[in-house]
Amino acid sequence: MAMSKSNQRSGPAPKRQRLDIDEFEAAETQISSAGDELLVLVKKSPHDSLSKFKLSLVNGLIARANTLLGSEKPLADFEQFDSEQIPSVSDAVIVLGQYLAALENLRVRNIKMKSGWWYWALNGVISERRTYGPRSLDK
């Protein structure tokens, strides 16, 4: 799997200051959608490489997720795929799946149930912004 590490920082990733719910929901939706679309391609040709366009989109989504997750990234030393060594579609599906799981873990830690509904709770304070329950409850 072609990956690149960022040499720009030393030490652990900075802690997330405050979760931006709008950015979180947008990034999670887009990563999920991209993963679903790539999964269709994997079923047809699992060893095909990503196009440069798709690689650019995937790397952009990963960068957004890295910002949201901070030190809680699913792959500690992974920043993005290396554009010089184009990854396979299946590599991208695996990595996006790891990011979706990490985003869901972050979301679950920031939601609470109140009166039978799930709400975002930031810094322990339940907001008026509703969300859905933990995905693990759906299984």
- For 57, the domain range is 21-109
- Whether 126 is in a domain gets the answer no
- Whether 82 is in a domain gets the answer yes
- Whether 3 is in a domain gets the answer no
98, exposed or middle or buried, with CB in 10 Å at 0-12, 13-18, 19+?
middle
Higher per-residue confidence, 9 vs 64 = 64
Condensed to tens digits (0 to 9), the pLDDT of residues 38-60 reads 999 999 998 899 999 999 999 99
- Whether 6 is in a domain gets the answer no
- Whether 77 is in a domain gets the answer yes
- pLDDT at position 6: 43
Determine the Cα–Cα distance for residues 38 and 14; give it in Å rounded to an integer: 30
Residue 69 identity: L
Q: State the residue for tokens 């969300």.
A: 131
* pLDDT of 64 over the 80 cut: yes
For the chain, the straight-line distance linking the first and the last C-alpha, in angstroms and rounded, comes to: 30
Structure token pair of residue 88: 């396979």
Structure token pair of residue 16: 């997330």
- Whether 15 is in a domain gets the answer no
- pLDDT at position 18: 64
Closest CA to 76 of 52, 104, 99, 47: 99
- Whether 11 is in a domain gets the answer no
Domain count for the chain, please give it. 1
Determine the Cα–Cα distance for residues 65 and 71; give it in Å rounded to an integer: 11
Structure token pair of residue 71: 């030190």
User: Which residues, in sequence order, are CB contacts of 82 under 8 Å at separation 6+?
Assistant: 2, 3, 4
Condensed to tens digits (0 to 9), the pLDDT of residues 113-122 reads 999 999 999 8
- Whether 123 is in a domain gets the answer no
User: Which residues, in sequence order, are CB contacts of 36 under 8 Å at separation 6+?
Assistant: none
Structure token pair of residue 117: 């509904």
